Amino acid sequence: MKTYMIVTNDAYEMPVMQNLKGAAQVSDYLGLSVNRIRKNLCTGVWNHNQKYKAVVDNSCTVDALERRREYNLRYSMTHDRTEYYRQYYLRKNKKENAHE
């Protein structure tokens, strides 16, 4: 998920608000619809009458692929798959022997 920063809509672009996660939080802050925020971010064109605009804050953005790798590493360290499959096949064999 991207992190956004609200800045002034002039040549200086002074930061007003930081660490807004997702277009929904930006739209709540600016009072615009989510689709309008996404369109403005995509095209880079903001209404000159607006006081503020949103920009992507690359310093806080977390790579989703890196988070997934970290999660998979922690999951594999805490979950023993061999024990799961051992129990599964024991239950399966018990059911098959019960039907015979």
By DSSP bridging, strand 52-56 and strand 3-8 are: antiparallel
The tens digit of pLDDT for each residue in 40-68 reads 999 999 988 999 999 998 876 567 777 88
The tens digit of pLDDT for each residue in 9-23 reads 999 999 999 999 999
Burial class of 4 by CB neighbour count within 10 A (0 to 12, 13 to 18, 19+): buried
The tens digit of pLDDT for each residue in 65-98 reads 778 888 888 887 777 778 788 888 888 888 888 7
- pTM value? 0.60
pLDDT band at 100 (very low <50, low <70, confident <90, very high): low
